[in-house]
Amino acid sequence: MKARARRARAAGWLVLVAGAVVAAPPAARAQGAPAGAQPATTTAQAAPAGAQPATTGADAAQASREADAAFARGKELYRLGKLDAAYEAYRTAWTLKQSYDIAANLANTELQRGMKVEAAEHLAFCLRSFPATGNPAQHEQIRSQFRAVRKEVGSIVVQANADGAEVSFDGAAVGRTPFRHEVFVKPGTIAVEARLAGHEPSRVTLEVPAGETNTANLVLLPPVERPAQSEPLPPRAEAPVPAPREGADTGGPRPEVLIAGGAVAGAGVIAGVVFTVLAVTKGSDAEELRDSVVRNHGGAACSRANAPSAACADVKDAFDVHRRWTNTAFWSFVGAGAAGAGTLIYGLSTKPSRPHGRVVVTPLVGAGNVGISVAGAL
């Protein structure tokens, strides 16, 4: 009887020890993580990027068992020095279940792989969810790791006036508003943009130094209502303007009159110059002829009874030709002035009109005859 009692007490203690191991907090299984790692961008929601919401009931239990299996596999791979394979196993466990011990081991591998931003994200989650009954030494080690990596990354606090807006950093989506925690980023210039259906996008650009936190205040405004455009009125019908009849007065100066007047004035000036030259030449000829008669017959030769009739007649005719050319030149200039003045008055007193044909004016000079020829077509 005593032997059976001792065996019963031993079995009871074994059950208690096994129950204690199973019920032990996950901190006892979390692996320590050395300080000094490197970042990348993730979201600062309650569960970091890549995390999936837990299911309920049987599905939740199955996901938890798969997460525990992946977590155990990650620890074994890490013990064997297979860092990348251990990271993938921890990552799988994290997508199935978000717990502080998985976050701690995942951050440890991320630090060693140079993923400082992701490590800061998971270390921050681990510190927020670390149980009060957890290992104090392990908690301090995680805090030390977080302080070290926090000096090498920046962070952004996202604030928006509307919930459900999709937020992106430099075009990469990081989550939807509201954000409960800061978002860790690589130091530098970050373009933060928020978009929400029915609102105008909001965008700010921040300079985020290492070890510091900036706030992105995003104000999403409803779209500006534009007044409805009324249908354009049909074009107003206008009566066609009748074309002027052939030969009808269009109300403006007739171009042929302006052209003719200008041509006559120009021709008159040219003719006056030509006639003046001829008059001067003829006057010189008459003077020479008279001087010849005076030399041969005396100063009063043409006034005597026996005057040389032929020579005196030549002198008289030469002076008559000189006078005719002089008068012609004078009246040419007078005519040119009259034509120019009349054309100018006509052009200024009427409105311009469309051009009509052309007029050609030509001075005529002949032996003992002068004049001008005007020709044109309408």
Q: What is the β-pairing status of strands 154-160 and 213-218?
A: parallel
pLDDT at 338 over 70: yes
Give the least confident one: 28-32, 135-139, 337-341.
Answer: 28-32
Give the least confident one: 22-31, 74-83, 216-225.
Answer: 22-31
pLDDT at 22 over 50: no
Given a contact cutoff of 8 angstroms between Cβ atoms, the answer to whether 283 and 326 are in contact is yes
Average pLDDT over residues 346-368: 57
Counting Cα atoms < 13 Å in the Cβ hemisphere of 113 gives: 21
Given a contact cutoff of 8 angstroms between Cβ atoms, the answer to whether 114 and 37 are in contact is yes
Give the least confident one: 4-8, 99-103, 198-202, 273-277.
Answer: 4-8
Give CA–CA dist 189/203, Å, rounded.
13
Report the chain's mean pLDDT, rounded to a whole number: 75
**Strand (E) positions, 76-128?**
none
User: DSSP string of 262-278?
Assistant: HHHHHHHHHHHHHHHHH
Per residue in 122-134, pLDDT tens? 999 999 999 999 8
Give CA–CA dist 162/202, Å, rounded.
11
Listed ranges 63-67, 223-227, 230-234; the one with the highest mean pLDDT: 63-67
Give CA–CA dist 290/312, Å, rounded.
8
- Position 196, amino acid: L
What pTM does this model have?
Answer: 0.47
CATH class of 24-152: mainly alpha
Per residue in 190-203, pLDDT tens? 999 999 999 999 99
Render the burial of 76-111: b for 16+ CB within 10 Å, e for the rest.
Answer: ebbeeeeeebbbbbbbbbbbbbbbbbbbbbbbbbbb
DSSP 114: T
Give CA–CA dist 91/69, Å, rounded.
12
Give the residue with greater pLDDT, 170 vs 13. Answer: 170
